[in-house]
Amino acid sequence: MKVLNGLSLTQNAIKVLEKRYLKKNEEGKIVETPHELFKRVARSVAAADLHYGKTEAEVSALESSFYEMTTSLDFLPNSPTLMSAGRRLGQLSACFVLPVDDSMESIFDAVKNAAIIHKSGGGTGFSFSRLRPNGDVVGSTKGVSSGPISFMTVFDTATEAVKQGGTRRGANMGLLRVDHPDIISFITCKDENTKLTNFNISVGLTEEFMNALSEDRQYDLLNPRTQKVTQRLKAKEVFDLIVTHAWKNGEPGIVFLDRVNESNPTPQIGLIESTNPCGEQPLLPYESCNLGSINLASHVTRDGEAQVDWQKLKDTAWKSVHFLDNVIDVNKYPLKKIEEMTKANRKIGLGVMGWADMLIQMNIPYNSGRAVELAEEVMGFIQAEGKKASSALAEERGVFENYEGSIYDGKLRVRNATVTTIAPTGTLSIISGCSSGIEPLFAVSYVRTVMEGTKLIEVNPHFEKVAKERGFWNRELMEKIAEKGTIKDFNEIPDDVKAVFVTAHDITPEDHIIMQAAFQKYVDNAVSKTVNFPHEATPKDVENVYLLAYKLGCKGLTVYRDGSREEQVLTTGKSKEKQQAADATHTQKIIPRKRPEVIKGSTRLMKTGCGNIYITINEDEKGHLFELFASMGKAGGCASSQSEALGRLISLALRSNIEPEAIISQLKGVRCHQPAWHSGGQIFSCSDAIAKALEKYHHVCDKGNGNGYKDASAIMFIGQCPECGGAVEHEGGCAVCHNCGFTKC
């Protein structure tokens, strides 16, 4: 832990802030401290009070209050607010939903608007349920429609183009109603992990479908253009297909659409048809939502037996609601329609992180009845206080514009149509040094890679404290735990400690659902959470959890079976028997391919701190990457010889059928003392330059070595971070690297 201007941050938090949040100049040099970041955010957000008659002195006091709340890490807003508040871009919302109606104009308006949103740092959700099915008549030409799946690829390609030029990944949610005629094609559209890589997909399950499932009968598919029945399907067969594909690679997720609309606060405005990319924020077309999370780990009393600090939690909830409502006013919206709809409903989403840490401090096992009771107490308290805070703002500032006809009309005057959401907190929890969202610990101890490839053992601070107090702390044990992440198999650790320090894979999938349902009882919107399954889980296990989620009142669900995407990608194009044979002979020597007499390729100049480096990449007659040469121009000495040596080793790897992505992930980001700028990006070292040249060439030829995945997003699918090569964890309905802070969403 490092203290900077009174701000206590872990080394990993500082690393993430420097890489993703702090302001940089045109040369890529950091020109802002963490202290200045929080000052910038507090000043920008507090300024909204000037619009409501507050004096400069009152706004200054509010700024100090917001600054104290965020620097103490009691609360953090979503990433776009931290990144952009008080800066030129000024787009502070994390998530948006755009309409896609059944016309070419609407479809391509949505593509254009999504690109604008992604450029501003937001994610988008779409329902494709209004589009006529594949093969249906097109009225203007009497031709044939290509259907929703075809148009999803257009959105995906546009997202990829924006992502390549931006600093924050564009993410999409694609949702299709279960009664759409193309539902089978939709369920199977991500069978290959190289397709629709910028989309999460979810099936919108209706009450009619769930009734048909329970009654083991058929249900109707409806053409959205005519509202006529096109076909009848057996609900159980469709449900089994959803379950099987979720078991295979985690997609599609499910959203209980009718349940979502039961709690739609403004039904007079329209039906909710989609959610944001991680599923926790159902939104009307053109709505955005501004999210933030209370760090529960810092709301535990320190005197005597650990308890929830209810007074502090109340104070934080009230200040957080005020903060998020202000964000709506200071936000610079990417589209006028979004600004109008957002300000008309003023939805905010106050959630939590550090839940596992709170339980650990109170010595409560995550998978216990007491933990479930406390979840309801804590979230019920935040919900109640959040509504009170919103009501107080309504008395001062007025109710939201669409209040008349809403579910609150005549019952409760509130400023915000929704107040609570539990969102993923991947990078926020790294900055705060706490556990993610309402997830269990992802590991008790793990290995983190720092500069120059140095490996550090990270140990949960609560576990370290207990281990030292109980007398079983030693470095060798921590290293062994880091290899496994869990402590359940270590006999030297007392059973009561094992019970409290459980990880995501130590508890049952049912325990995950029970916890999600407990929080959902007191959340206006929804809960983003991943239900983790062991690799050996069966499709029946997934089915049971889906049904339990429906029974317990969840609004949606994301599952991930450990290693499922690894298995799918690495065995592409091979039969099970061939894979088993390959496994059996993996100890045989690898013989590099021989070089043909003639080979083709290209040379790219890259600027480094040591001078220009010329990188030649060649491919064989089949278009597969074959070799790489690196020359430092006129330079000599160590830099030149090391570049030549790197080229030889990379060539040997390529000729031995090592996939380029594996090479790129090892070299990209390696830093030296003298970075440079090239083509609008920073080159950290000669190794980094070679990796980026290889990556650019690989994206063009896109053939790899003919036996593996094709792009950086596929690396992430198999559990490896595309930016630093670290482990990607599936949690909070998202994928996050705890090493560098990369997130899919």
Mean pLDDT for each 10-residue chunk of the chain (745 residues)? 75 91 93 96 98 97 98 97 95 95 96 93 95 86 84 92 61 96 96 85 98 98 96 98 95 97 97 95 96 98 92 98 98 97 98 98 98 98 98 98 97 98 94 96 82 72 95 92 91 96 94 98 96 94 97 95 63 36 46 81 85 88 85 68 87 86 83 71 83 78 46 53 71 79 75
Residue 324's closest CA among 16, 523, 41?
Answer: 41
Q: What share of the chain is helix, strand, coil (3-state, %, to 5)?
A: 45, 20, 40
Residue 584: exposure state from Cβ atoms within 10 A (0-12, 13-18, ≥19): exposed
CA dihedral 229, 232, 235, 241 (to 10 degrees): -100
pLDDT of residue 706: 45
Q: Which two tokens stand for residue 213?
A: 């499932």
Q: What are phi and psi of 200, to 5 degrees?
A: -95, 145
pLDDT of residue 544: 97
CA dihedral 205, 255, 513, 509 (to 10 degrees): 80
pLDDT of residue 707: 43
pLDDT of residue 586: 40
CB atoms within 10 A of CB 136: 20
pTM (2 decimals)? 0.82
Q: Rounded to an integer, what distance in angstroms lies between the CA atom of residue 117 and that of residue 120?
A: 5
- Residues marked active site are found at 276, 278, 280
pLDDT of residue 634: 56
pLDDT of residue 142: 67
